[in-house]
């Protein structure tokens, strides 16, 4: 399962966030299981593979196609995260006090600096910046 953070256009693969190259949606990206046509959305390069995320025109399902040195190596489900789902995701990867410090910081309220600094370190380990996270949840 891959996660696509819609507001950041970043893809999370094995707990690491990658920036992708966005496509304009005009390129064919395969056929969906519903029979619909899929459009290319974003290409991501990792150390080992190139990954294309396509979206179905009909049911809006997203699927990742994985290529190893140009050879098709399999499909994976993609879970798309909007602003609200991204908040839920933060609750899974951070402790309650870390989430609270981020939310408070985003709202311009008082926050616990040591909780925020722990949250920032955890996010950085996943290749996510605190500033971009704050922008999403603000
Ligand atoms: Zn479909």
pLDDT of amino acid 80: 95
Q: List, for residues 47-72, the tens digit of each pLDDT value.
A: 889 999 999 999 999 999 999 988 99
95 Cα: distance to centroid of ligand 1 (angstroms): 36
pLDDT of amino acid 24: 84
pLDDT of amino acid 70: 84
Closest of 81, 36, 82, 43 to residue 59, by C-alpha: 36
Q: Distance (Å, rounded) from C-alpha 101 to C-alpha 109?
A: 9
59 Cα: distance to centroid of ligand 1 (angstroms): 4
102 Cα: distance to centroid of ligand 1 (angstroms): 36
41 Cα: distance to centroid of ligand 1 (angstroms): 14
pLDDT of amino acid 138: 85
57 Cα: distance to centroid of ligand 1 (angstroms): 7
pLDDT of amino acid 69: 86
- Segments of the chain with pLDDT less than 50: none
């Amino acid at each position: 399962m891959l996660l696509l953070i819609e507001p950041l256009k970043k893809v999370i693969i094995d707990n690491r966030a990658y920036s992708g190259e966005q496509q304009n949606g005009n390129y064919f990206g395969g056929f969906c299981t519903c029979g619909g046509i899929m459009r290319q959305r974003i290409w991501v390069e990792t150390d080992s593979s190139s990954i294309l995320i396509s979206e179905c025109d009909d049911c809006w399902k997203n699927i990742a196609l994985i290529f190893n040195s140009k050879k098709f190596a399999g499909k994976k489900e993609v879970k798309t995260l909007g602003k609200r789902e991204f908040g839920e995701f933060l609750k899974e990867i951070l402790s309650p006090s870390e989430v609270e410090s981020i939310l408070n910081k985003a709202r311009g309220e008082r926050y616990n600096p040591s909780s925020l600094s722990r949250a920032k370190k955890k996010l950085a380990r996943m290749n996510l910046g605190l500033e971009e996270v704050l922008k999403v949840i603000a």
